[in-house]
Amino acid sequence: MLSFRFSIFVHPETKAEFLKENSFSEKNQALVEAVSAPGWELLAKQKGRRFIKTHLPFSLLPPDLFTAGCKVIYVARNPKDVAVSFFHLNRLIRTQGYLGDFPKFWDYFERNLQSWTPYWSHIQEGWERRNSENVLFMFYEQMNK
């Protein structure tokens, strides 16, 4: 499976810092290199069927996704669960550095003022494609039943 979510956010200076911090381990350095490789380069090298995991909305994916025979599984999450999880990620991961409380975070989240947003239009795009022949739209909570 190929994931596009990491390579988008690994700035060269951040990558250099991570490599330096992991100079004691070739394995860790290889992991830093792997997650910082541009996803499109990895995708171009793959042959045959591919499983591509992305957090990108449909509007940022190739338009022929819906006509080329691809199968798409769109998983949406309850906004409250997303916000709480995202709040903790932003508090605990140093590259995010959020220092505020949850009510302020929710305000930013609700108004799409956080990184990795807009949330609401992303979900709307998925919902509008839910009846497409090659799209399975489901909620994360349905997967746990």
Which positions are catalytic? Answer: 55
Q: Count the alpha carbons within 13 Å of 80 in the hemisphere toward its beta carbon.
A: 1
Where residue 138 falls (left for φ over 0; alpha for ψ -120 to 50; beta otherwise) is beta
